[in-house]
Amino acid sequence: MKTRTAAFGKGGGNGGNGTPAEPSDKLGADLQTNLRRLHAELESSPDLIVRQFTLRTGHPYQVAVIYLDTIVDKEMINELVMRSLMSPFQPDLPDNAQSPESVFRFIRDNAMAVGQIEVHDVWNDVLLELLTGKMLLFLDGWNACISGNAIGGEKRAVSEASTQIVIRGPKDSFSESIATNISLVRRRIRSAKFGIDTLKIGSVTQTSVAMLYIDGIVKDDIRQEVRKRLERINTDAILESGYIEEFIEDNRFSPFPTVFNTERPDVIAANLLEGRIAILVDGTPFALVVPTVLSQFFTSAEDYYQRYDIGTFLRLLRYMAFIIALFGPAAYIALTTFHQEMLPTTLLINLSGGREGVPFPALIEAFTMEISFEILREAGIRMPRAVGQAVSIVGALVLGEAAVQAGIVSPIMVIVVSITAIANFSIPAYNLAITARMLRFLFMIAAGFLGFYGIILGMIMLVAHMNALRSFGVSFLSPLVPLKLDQMKDFFVRLPHWRMLDRPDDTSADTTRMPAGQNPDATSGNG
């Protein structure tokens, strides 16, 4: 695996990472002066621990070990740093050569058992290392310090995904630790071409952000564009990957998401293998994937773990659910208001009988029920988990039944709204499901004024808008627009793995996934 820390990832002055340190803003050689300044800089941090002691060497020197008690692994510091330095040791140096510089180098190279250490002599870098969870070691008489990787603190264990659940497939998901998340992806891609670029974003939060990609597969111009957009972010805080998404997306005023997000490591690995780039943000379990196309939002990880015929059926079912969620109430409004002649006579009589006594037109009736259901859904999400689901289900049943009994809505409208809501839940990507919920109201208004003509006009505008969308230079409707028949093997349908020989050429520099002749008949000699 290649791990790169780009120049903009050193906490200096790029991408909103704070003001670059002036050359004069260096550490001093006097230990007590450095400690006083450190206390002054972090006077509001009661978890700051400073442990001073004397090295047990031939020429004793004062040292100080400094860390933030709440975000480090204290056992690691005690065992690998404190015990090592407090034990008697004699640098293999002549007496006249035991200068602070020589002792400092000896400690750096021989006396610390921490795996990863760095040397810093600029105050901004020192503070950033400390606030990141590193341990600092100062030596009296020398104007530099050693930082050791002792990041710890409380963190959530790896657990099952809460949103993108599968019946068959891995059950692990990302946590809020970026180091843990990178390890989950690395376990799946054991390649020397697996690359990581890291940077800090946020002048106050100094949030760690990582770009993941595979050299030789990802297109270099896409990687450079993603890096440039991340560098351009200049803000005080990044608390979740949603902050990053709004800064880097192509069309900021489109209801359709052009950045895909997931909390599943296997989904990230699969997208990296198609030439895409993943963006991990410390403090959130949701990773971003760019470039993004529409088909990604209808794809579940389980499509590739089940047989291809089952995966194809389920995917087509999701496309159908999206159409129902988008046009269901609008089609009902158009049929009952403008186009009754399109309905069979028996069905029309039943619908008319059901709507007899309803005082509102179909548009107001549908709006009332849809808004009521949206409120119930939001209330069910925000309420305590123990009662939230019960309230949303019971509330919908009671409210629908009461509305019908009161003659405010017709029974068929309750059925239409219920089917639409169930179809909306079938969309795997939550952000696309929200898009369908918002656009549904626009199509209802169009149907209420113009019937099916309004729906068709809205569809034309919607398709034109989607066709104009780009995600890092890639068409949002690719490979449908522009049409690439040879890459339609994983769009509406999912062909067998042995048929998907190529990667998408929109994102991949190397499009060859596997050689031909992998089908079972060819390998068994029967084909």
| Whether residue 2 has pLDDT greater than 70 | no
**Which among 116, 108, 114 has a CA at the least distance from the CA of 91?**
108
Q: Is residue 421 part of a domain?
A: yes
Instruction: Please check whether residues 332 and 438 belong to one and the same domain.
Output: yes
Q: Is residue 304 part of a domain?
A: no
What is the domain extent for residue 218? 156-292+496-527
Higher per-residue confidence, 257 vs 72 = 257
Instruction: Please check whether residues 135 and 168 belong to one and the same domain.
Output: no
Query: What is the mean predicted confidence (pLDDT) over 227-245?
Result: 93
Query: What is the mean predicted confidence (pLDDT) over 54-68?
Result: 81
| Whether residue 399 has pLDDT greater than 80 | no
Instruction: Please check whether residues 275 and 353 belong to one and the same domain.
Output: no
Query: What is the mean predicted confidence (pLDDT) over 263-283?
Result: 94
Q: Is the pTM of this model over 0.75?
A: yes
| Cα–Cα distance for residue pair 278/141, rounded to 1 Å | 45
Higher per-residue confidence, 512 vs 278 = 278
387 — pLDDT class (breaks 50, 70, 90): low
Q: Of 148, 165, 192, at which residue does a domain stop?
A: 148
Q: Of 122, 148, 174, at which residue does a domain stop?
A: 148
Q: Is residue 297 part of a domain?
A: no
pLDDT at 401: 75
Please spell the DSSP secondary structure of 238-291, one letter per residue: --SHHHHHHHH-S-TT-SS-SSEEES-HHHHHHHHTTT-EEEEETT-SPEEEES
pLDDT at 527: 45
Higher per-residue confidence, 373 vs 406 = 373
pLDDT at 437: 92
Instruction: Please check whether residues 179 and 134 belong to one and the same domain.
Output: no
Q: Is residue 99 part of a domain?
A: yes
Residue 389 phi, psi dihedral angles, 5° rounding: -65, -40
Burial readout 123-151 (b: 16 or more C-beta within 10 A, e: otherwise):
bbbbbbbbebbbbbbbbbebbbbbbbbbb
Q: Is residue 15 part of a domain?
A: no
Instruction: Please check whether residues 319 and 445 belong to one and the same domain.
Output: yes
Residue 148 phi, psi dihedral angles, 5° rounding: -120, 145
| Cα–Cα distance for residue pair 177/284, rounded to 1 Å | 7
The residue whose two tokens read 């004793």 is: 60
Instruction: Please check whether residues 71 and 168 belong to one and the same domain.
Output: no
Query: What is the mean predicted confidence (pLDDT) over 192-201?
Result: 91
Instruction: Please check whether residues 40 and 114 belong to one and the same domain.
Output: yes
**Which among 98, 35, 37 has a CA at the least distance from the CA of 63?**
35
19 — pLDDT class (breaks 50, 70, 90): very low
Q: Is residue 376 part of a domain?
A: yes
Instruction: Please check whether residues 287 and 320 belong to one and the same domain.
Output: no
| Cα–Cα distance for residue pair 408/367, rounded to 1 Å | 12
pLDDT at 166: 85
| Cα–Cα distance for residue pair 405/400, rounded to 1 Å | 9
Instruction: Please check whether residues 466 and 505 belong to one and the same domain.
Output: no
| Whether residue 402 has pLDDT greater than 80 | no
Instruction: Please check whether residues 249 and 353 belong to one and the same domain.
Output: no
140 — pLDDT class (breaks 50, 70, 90): confident
Question: For 85-99, 251-265, 348-362, 443-457, which range has the lowest pLDDT when averaged over its residues?
Answer: 85-99
Q: Is residue 467 part of a domain?
A: yes
Question: For 85-89, 207-211, 482-486, which range has the lowest pLDDT when averaged over its residues?
Answer: 85-89
Q: How many domains does the chain have?
A: 3
Two tokens at 483?
A: 């049409």
Q: Is residue 177 part of a domain?
A: yes
Instruction: Please check whether residues 402 and 286 belong to one and the same domain.
Output: no
Q: Of all residues in the chain, what percent carry a pLDDT higher than 70?
A: 89
| Cα–Cα distance for residue pair 512/156, rounded to 1 Å | 39
pLDDT at 383: 74
| Whether residue 285 has pLDDT greater than 80 | yes
- List pLDDT tens digits, range 409-459: 888 888 898 899 899 988 999 999 999 999 999 999 999 999 999 999 999
| Whether residue 213 has pLDDT greater than 50 | yes
Q: Of 127, 148, 169, at which residue does a domain stop?
A: 148
Instruction: Please check whether residues 397 and 316 belong to one and the same domain.
Output: yes
- List pLDDT tens digits, range 331-375: 999 988 888 888 788 877 877 777 777 788 888 888 988 888 888
pLDDT at 20: 41
Higher per-residue confidence, 176 vs 521 = 176
